[in-house]
Amino acid sequence: MYASGSDVVLLDGQLQHVQTIFGSTCGYGNTKVSCLHCAESTGRLVVAWGAEVVIFEPSNVDETSGPDSKGQGAGLSNEVSTYNEMFT
């Protein structure tokens, strides 16, 4: 996993592209990712754009229209837990 500008790119164990989370889709198109972390035990991904934090949770998606329409069986969703709070 790595950040590129306002986007987060997820890779598998073989360093193959799995999913891209576009900052513009989340409303952060002009803000660079300032921090990111993946919790191995839950699969949750925490991304900070500036001082705003968003938590993504793994979710199953339709295998024919997966995150990048490559037949992936899982994706990330921020529908369950989204926190937009200022941390100091």
pLDDT digits (tens, 9 = 90+) for 61-81: 655 444 444 444 456 665 434
Whether the model clears a pTM of 0.75, i.e. scores above it, the answer is no
Strands 52-60 and 7-11: unpaired
How confident is the model over 26-49, as pLDDT tens digits?
A: 888 889 999 999 988 888 899 999
CB 57 within 8 A of CB 46: no
CB 59 within 8 A of CB 66: no
Q: How many other CB atoms sit within 10 Å of the CB of residue 76?
A: 20
CA distance 76 to 64: 16
Q: Tokens 């999913």 appear where?
A: 19
